[in-house]
Amino acid sequence: MPEPAIVLGANQYGKAEVRVVKVTRDSARHEIEDLNVTSQLRGDFAAAHLAGDNAHVVPTDTQKNTIFAFARDGIGSPEAFLLRLADHFTSSFGWVTGGRWEAEQFAWQRITVGGEPHDHAFVRSGQEVRTAVVVADGTDRHVIAGLKGLTVLKTTRSGFEGYPKDRYTTLPETSDRILATDVAARWRYARPDVDYDAAYASVRSLVLEAFAAKYSAALQATLFDMGRAVLEAHAEIAEIRFSMPNKHHFVVDLAPFGLDNPNEVFYAADRPYGLIEASVEREGVASPAAAWAGIAGFC
Amino acid sequence: MPEPAIVLGANQYGKAEVRVVKVTRDSARHEIEDLNVTSQLRGDFAAAHLAGDNAHVVPTDTQKNTIFAFARDGIGSPEAFLLRLADHFTSSFGWVTGGRWEAEQFAWQRITVGGEPHDHAFVRSGQEVRTAVVVADGTDRHVIAGLKGLTVLKTTRSGFEGYPKDRYTTLPETSDRILATDVAARWRYARPDVDYDAAYASVRSLVLEAFAAKYSAALQATLFDMGRAVLEAHAEIAEIRFSMPNKHHFVVDLAPFGLDNPNEVFYAADRPYGLIEASVEREGVASPAAAWAGIAGFC
Amino acid sequence: MPEPAIVLGANQYGKAEVRVVKVTRDSARHEIEDLNVTSQLRGDFAAAHLAGDNAHVVPTDTQKNTIFAFARDGIGSPEAFLLRLADHFTSSFGWVTGGRWEAEQFAWQRITVGGEPHDHAFVRSGQEVRTAVVVADGTDRHVIAGLKGLTVLKTTRSGFEGYPKDRYTTLPETSDRILATDVAARWRYARPDVDYDAAYASVRSLVLEAFAAKYSAALQATLFDMGRAVLEAHAEIAEIRFSMPNKHHFVVDLAPFGLDNPNEVFYAADRPYGLIEASVEREGVASPAAAWAGIAGFC
Amino acid sequence: MPEPAIVLGANQYGKAEVRVVKVTRDSARHEIEDLNVTSQLRGDFAAAHLAGDNAHVVPTDTQKNTIFAFARDGIGSPEAFLLRLADHFTSSFGWVTGGRWEAEQFAWQRITVGGEPHDHAFVRSGQEVRTAVVVADGTDRHVIAGLKGLTVLKTTRSGFEGYPKDRYTTLPETSDRILATDVAARWRYARPDVDYDAAYASVRSLVLEAFAAKYSAALQATLFDMGRAVLEAHAEIAEIRFSMPNKHHFVVDLAPFGLDNPNEVFYAADRPYGLIEASVEREGVASPAAAWAGIAGFC
């Protein structure tokens, strides 16, 4: 029996991390939009791989140029901007049947001068980075919003008890510990007519409130609380995924120095860390694999 | 019609980035193994998420301890070590039906003293990091080897021509440019009885040779050449995936200074960069989605 | 003539990056302090270097333990905490004649739940990191406060004109550009009785306001404006140093696409970047070299 | 008494991190040089800071252009290249009385194809980065070579004993531990006529050999051994400085799992780490402060 032929499988290509900044100067009060955009095309690119024939290879440089040119009209929400790119590339080149567009958005706040927000001077808000992904698969459009790097910590009302013990278990149970994580979340919209900016602000708030509100029996339980709060409040969101490190804060043993330590002095460890990942979904609503392919871990 | 219930979807959890170093001291000539191991369990963890019941939650701390305890017997290839972990966790806890174990391995070379390799002093080899993933899904075992951070560059015998032009195309064609990339590759073994260390060394060499050997009509063509060389030489490898940035080196325009620049002086750009990703496969051999889920991009 | 002997020069050693988190739980409303502390001792350590005699080497592990033990009493301002460490080590070991203690402080904000700041749940403020250095030299104490990573941008009221041209000059003059930088600043207190937290907040505001307020003829001019504003308002500050990248935002040429670009669409570049560093001082007030030794660049 | 005037102190500015790659194509066997260059000018720049007058401000863009233009003639050793830049800027502009030029150099190895080193395909050597600094102060030239990121580890023949104990000491003494560090070193040449490339290779070897060769009573002793070896072999080197983390590898306690651990399984910690810094010098040979100003820590 002959060996099966060696063939090209799934593939995509494009320009990554195009750092586009758009200033809107319609009035003295400027607006700023600051994105990091990646464009990747899918379709019939076999000849480029197999035969060195680039007739289908829309240059990554062209993809970059297109991002800048489209920004001239304003960016708006990152989701809407990526949808514009998706529609453009899939409609402009017959062999481009889909693709993946991704953005990070960085937030800026106005500097306060004399008690007033300044017209054109900004300080970057260093909390979470907003993320967006649009996957085009033929005429399908999957829109996934998200955030990453939202670092939260609660100083009490978190524990970890009742877990199974085996030969390798040394961890003591506790009903009072620090719980800290960097929230990374992505949620998929079930329908197209969404106010993406308003939804983002709401999801962010719900996630923070769910983290703060309840006793945490484990980061798993807190994760699900976050997801449930989002899905209950947002019918337009089909599912939400989280990837969250458990950033360990260990109580330092001060007894050798003649000191007590009633959960007051902690050592914040880097590695290893726990890593909790899960999807919260609506029963019976299928999650399209195409939407999530290529996303690291769960986020 | 009532709203569908909010439920737990796919999930996994564990301990990430356990930095284990094993020294073998059987003789005066020590050996060193240096890994960064992540363990994640899959199975029935719904009660922890939904009800704060941790009876099934094998602590991430226990997973860490197990990694250190297993290293006491020696590590061997990262693939074999991860398989041991997979078998342990899936056989020890009835509700653990699978999981994902991942490792980075860092290479060390002996320091040369007086022309001889030293017995117990090492310098870290800073080239690529070797990677390994084992996915357990019931009794199935998917073994994916890989490497990342293998930075290569060719100063000629690379071009990019014959691509489509549209309104947004400004890139000039060239038949002589620098081609540079950081190779990230992952390959899946089709069968269990593999000499993982020997296969790794061979794949690494084949990838480097394929990069060097031929004229590159585009990074896409070079990628496929690399994959084909690997699959032709290794019947035990079912498929190989690459994710490779096109690290642009732009010819600097020295004409304003009265100088020519026949491809001699380049500016190495950071962002944006091209990003070329593809799988090279054997025709008719299905790629199990479970093996690749959660891997960022194509690698 | 014999060769001069090979001798030990300046030296210091200690424990770096001790990540200490202190929770104050006196009431239901918890407080959190989050620092990264480095302790380095100076003095008579020649025997350790020259003869392998560790009789003077206070272990770096002991320095770490001391940091945690001292945190038990509360941290307070980072400057005050480092001064306590300096006094402890120089008074406890006769051969420790000085040293250098450094801290980064990370800010946390209370999560808002139901419109109210939460008692024990926090979100990390991702803007600037507060820094502090205490240098002890015998009984002298130099206290240097600072910040880094304060990223600011103004969309107009910045230009660069009137500079000298030579054979290698291609830059066009402009009276309207984006000015963006990451402010890193360090300022030295002239006297010990300072409310360090209040001074920090004030300096931060003055720096932001000076960045926003005036037309910037160059980042150099803006730097001096910042420094002058701080020194004018704070008699207790002897000098202030800045290190600021000029983070270039280039206007994208959209003309090839039939579009204008009146300073609306920019490409944010990574490297290279301008780098502007200077000290702003009080005339005739000497800057003690010992205070600044070992600080990278100007900050 | 009036307040002292607020004045400009020390200052420098320029272009940082110019990533220049030079290919020499004189024959089919290409050569590659890969540097990251920073240029900073010192002199009379007061008007720019105080009055917004840029008549003296050689643009950082011009400094960048000059780096690229000078590379057209070949780079050679980084020290020689920086000296060319220093001479150019200080001789071209009367008010530029000095400056600081810095480079990182990245090493590339030829890819082996068919047992032979390839003519134009390279793989980046990931070990240490070579560094160079030239400080010009009037007609003085200080040349400081260096390396960083040279990661070394010895599995035995290292201990730490005989140190002082106090209330905060819990560290047990040991005569057998892992010693690991990332060597960062900088050395100053005492005279101009140096073969910089040959000296670099020799210093690198001497440092590695000194690390390997002797029992280490503490990293301090090993540091001095390294420095002495270099100064003894290189009369042209006036002094050498080291900054080295003590990268802790802790023996994992496997006793709870019924296992012994005779220094075989270690946990490699990230933070905190020891930090050992010192200068090794020739007795009576002064170290010019101007050469070392602005270097972080000791390197």
Query: For A2-19, how does the pLDDT look when each residue is reduced to its tens digit (9 = 90+)?
Result: 789 999 999 999 999 999
Give the Cα separation of C1 and D40 in Å (integer).
Answer: 40
Tokens of C241: 């140093």
Say yes or no: C134 and C162 in one domain. Answer: no
Out of D80, D103, D138, a domain closes at: D138
Chosen from D3, D49, D84 to mutate, greatest number of chain C CBs within 10 A: D49
CB C274 within 8 A of CB C243: no
Q: Give every CB contact of residue B176 below 8 A, 6+ residues apart in sequence.
A: B156, B157, B158, B159, B263
Q: Are residues A134 and A220 in the same domain?
A: no
User: Among D216, D129, D182, which residue's Cα sits nearest to residue D297?
Assistant: D182
pLDDT attached to residue B148: 97
The gap from C-alpha D51 to its chain's centroid, in whole angstroms, comes to: 37
Instruction: Give bridge partners of residue B279 from the DSSP assignment.
Output: B241
Question: Measured between alpha carbons, how far is C287 from C267 in angstroms, rounded to an integer?
Answer: 40
Nearest by CB to C155, which of A23, A124, A256? A23
In-domain check, residue B3? no
Assigned domain for A191 exists: yes
How far, in Å, are A197, D135, D143 from residue D189 at the CA level?
59, 12, 6
Residues of A known to be catalytic: 15, 60, 248
How large a percentage of chain C has pLDDT more than 70? 99
Which of C99, C114, C138 is the C-terminal boundary of a domain? C138
> For residue A56, which phi and psi values (nearest 5 degrees)?
-100, -5
Whether B269 and B290 share a structural domain = yes
Q: How wide is the angle at C-alpha B84 spanned by C-alphas B83 and B90, nearest 5°?
A: 85
Q: What is the pLDDT of residue A291?
A: 87
User: Rounded distance, CA A168 to CA D188, Å?
Assistant: 53
Give B249's contacts in chain D (Cβ within 8 Å).
21
Return the closest-CA partner of residue A56 out of A101, A82, A86, A89.
A89
User: Quick check: B277 pLDDT over 70?
Assistant: yes
Residue C289 has pLDDT above 90, yes or no: no
Mean pLDDT value of segment C54-65 = 98
Is the Cβ pair B4, A164 closer than 8 Å? no
Name the CA radius of gyration of chain B, rounded.
23
**Is A167 within 8 Å of D258 when comparing Cβ atoms?**
yes
Rounded average pLDDT over A234-256: 98
Q: Is residue D5 domain-resident?
A: no
Asked whether residue D299 is domain-assigned, the answer is no
SS3 call for A283? coil
At A173 the three-state DSSP class reads coil
CB A105 within 8 Å of CB A129:
yes
How many angstroms separate the CA atoms of C122 and C149, rounded?
21
Chains in touch with C (3+ beta-carbon pairs under 8 Å) read: A, B, D
With a cut of 80, say whether residue D120 has pLDDT above it. yes
B93-122 average pLDDT score = 97
Q: Are residues B56 and B131 located together in one domain of the fold?
A: yes
**pLDDT tens digits, B192-247:** 999 999 999 999 999 999 999 999 999 999 999 999 999 999 999 999 999 999 99
Joined together, the tokens standing for residue C123 give 């979100």
Does the N-terminal peptide bond of residue A272 adopt cis geometry, omega within 30 degrees of 0?
Answer: yes
Catalytic residues of C: 15, 60, 248
Separation in Å, CA of B167 to nearest CA in chain C: 6
Residues of B annotated as catalytic are: 15, 60, 248
**CA distances (Å), origin B133, targets A87, B80, B297, D160:** 36, 10, 15, 38
Q: Which of A96, A116, A138 finishes a domain?
A: A138
CA-based nearest distance B18→chain A, Å? 5
Q: Which residue of B has its CA nearest to D66?
A: B257
Residues D107 and C160: their CA atoms lie apart, in Å, by 37
Domain extent, residue C121, equals 10-138
**Regarding beta strands B140-154 and B129-137, do their DSSP bridges make them parallel or antiparallel, or are they unpaired?**
antiparallel
Q: Let me know if residue A95 belongs to a domain.
A: yes
Domain match, B18 and B98 both: yes
pLDDT of residue A1: 60
Partner residue facing A16 (CB), from B53, B228, B275: B275
Closest CA to C268 of C125, C128, C155: C155
What six digits make up the tokens of C159? 């230009």
Q: Are residues B17 and B80 in the same domain?
A: yes
CA distance D119 to chain A (A): 23
**Residues B168, C257: contact at Cβ < 8 Å?**
yes
What CATH number did the domain enclosing C245 receive?
Answer: 3.10.270.10
pLDDT at residue number C293? 80
Of the given ranges (B76-80, B221-225, B287-291), which has the lowest mean pLDDT?
A: B287-291
Cα-flanking dihedrals φ and ψ of residue B72, to 5°? -60, -30
| ipTM associated with this complex | 0.97
Report in angstroms the alpha-carbon separations of C187 from C131, C209, D23, D197.
10, 17, 45, 40
My answer on whether B187 and B237 are in the same domain is yes
In a domain, A170, yes or no: yes
CB pairs under 8 A between A and B: 277
Q: Domain check: are D281 and D157 in the same one? A: yes
Which of B16, B271, B285 minimises the CB distance to A17? B271
Residue D298 has pLDDT above 90, yes or no: no
Contact present, B128 and B184 (Cβ < 8 Å): no
Query: Is there a contact between C5 and D283 if contact means CB atoms under 8 Å apart?
Result: yes
Query: A111 to chain C: which residues are within 8 Å by CB?
Result: 152, 208-209, 211-212
Q: What is the pLDDT of residues C40-55, one digit of tens each?
A: 999 999 999 999 999 9
Among A41-55, B158-172, C285-299, D103-117, whose mean pLDDT is lowest?
C285-299
User: CA dist A228 to B5, B39, B50, Å?
Assistant: 10, 27, 10
Torsion of CA B255, B258, B264, B267, to 10 degrees: -50
Q: What is the mean pLDDT of residues D249-276?
A: 98
CB D249 within 8 A of CB D177: yes
- pLDDT value at residue C290: 84
**With contacts defined as CB-CB under 8 Å, which chain D residues touch C12?**
277-278, 298
Whether pLDDT at B2 is above 90: no
Nearest Cα to Cα of residue B236 among B199, B190, B282: B190
Write out chain C in H/E/C secondary structure. CCCCCEEEEEEEEEEEEEEEEEEECCCCCCEEEEEEEEEEEEECCHHHHHHCCCCCCCCHHHHHHHHHHHHCCCCCCHHHHHHHHHHHHHHHCCCEEEEEEEEEECCEEEEEECCEEEEEEEEECCCCEEEEEEEEECCEEEEEEEEEEEEEEECCCECECCCCCCCCCCCCCECCCCEEEEEEEEEEECCCCCCHHHHHHHHHHHHHHHHHHCCECCHHHHHHHHHHHHHHHCCCEEEEEEEEEECCEEECCCHHHCCCCCCCEEEECCCCEEEEEEEEEECCCCCCHHHHCCCCCCC
- Identify the helix (H) or strand (E) that includes residue D104: strand D96-105
Min Cα–Cα distance to chain D from C249, Å = 13
pLDDT of residue C1: 60
Task: Tell me: do B123 and B159 sit in the same domain.
Answer: no
- The DSSP letter of residue B286 is P
> Is the four-CA dihedral C4, C5, C10, C16 of positive or negative sign?
positive
Compare CB distances from C52 to D55, D69, D218 and report the shortest one's residue: D218
Q: What is the mean pLDDT of residues B65-75?
A: 98
Task: Supply the pLDDT for residue D297.
Answer: 67
**If you average pLDDT over every residue of chain D, what do you get?**
96
Q: How far apart are CA B24 and CA B72, in angstroms?
A: 9
What per-residue confidence (pLDDT) applies to D1?
60
Q: Which residue has the tokens 């500079």?
A: C163
Under an 8 A CB cutoff, do C72 and A152 touch? no
What is the share, in percent, of chain D residues with pLDDT greater than 90?
Answer: 93
Catalytic residue among D60, D62, D97, D155: D60
Residues B108 and B162 placed together within one structural domain of the fold: no
User: Do B204 and B287 belong together in one domain?
Assistant: yes
What are phi and psi for residue B70, nearest 5 degrees? -65, -30
Rg (CA), chain A: 23
- B46–chain A nearest CA distance, Å: 9
Mean pLDDT of A80-90: 98
The whole-number average pLDDT for the span B124-130 is: 93
Task: Check residue C256 and report its DSSP letter.
Answer: G
Question: What integer pLDDT is reported at residue D222 of this predicted model?
Answer: 98
Helices B196-213 & B219-233, crossing angle to 10 degrees? Answer: 140
Count how many domains chain C has. 2
The answer to whether C199 touches C237, Cβ cutoff 8 Å, is: yes
Active-site residue, D248 included: yes
Q: If you measure CA to CA, which chain A residue comes closest to B63? A: A168
Per the CB < 8 Å rule, is A283 touching B5?
yes
Mean pLDDT within A271-284:
97
The neighbours of chain D, by the rule of 3 or more Cβ pairs under 8 Å, are A, B, C
Question: In the predicted model, is pLDDT for residue D3 greater than 90?
Answer: no
- CA angle in degrees (0–180, nearest 5) for D205-D211-D216: 165
What is the spatial distance between Cα B9 and Cα A284, in angstroms, rounded to a whole number?
11
pLDDT at B218: 98
Structure tokens at C60: 């770096």
What ranges in chain C are assigned the alpha helix state H? 46-51, 60-71, 78-92, 196-213, 219-233, 289-292
Determine the longest span between alpha carbons in chain B, in angstroms: 82
Q: How far apart are CA A132 and CA A36, in angstroms?
A: 10
* Subunit contact D57:C164, Cβ cutoff 8 A: yes
- Average pLDDT of the residues of chain C: 96
Q: Is residue A144 part of a domain?
A: no
Find which of A3, A101, A168 to mutate to test the B interface (most B CBs within 10 Å of its CB): A168
Asked if B59's CB is within 8 angstroms of A169's CB, the reply is: yes
* Residue C143: inside a domain: no
Of the candidates B146, B150, B100, the one whose C-alpha atom is nearest the C-alpha of residue B127 is: B150
* Residues B167 and B289 both lie in one domain: yes
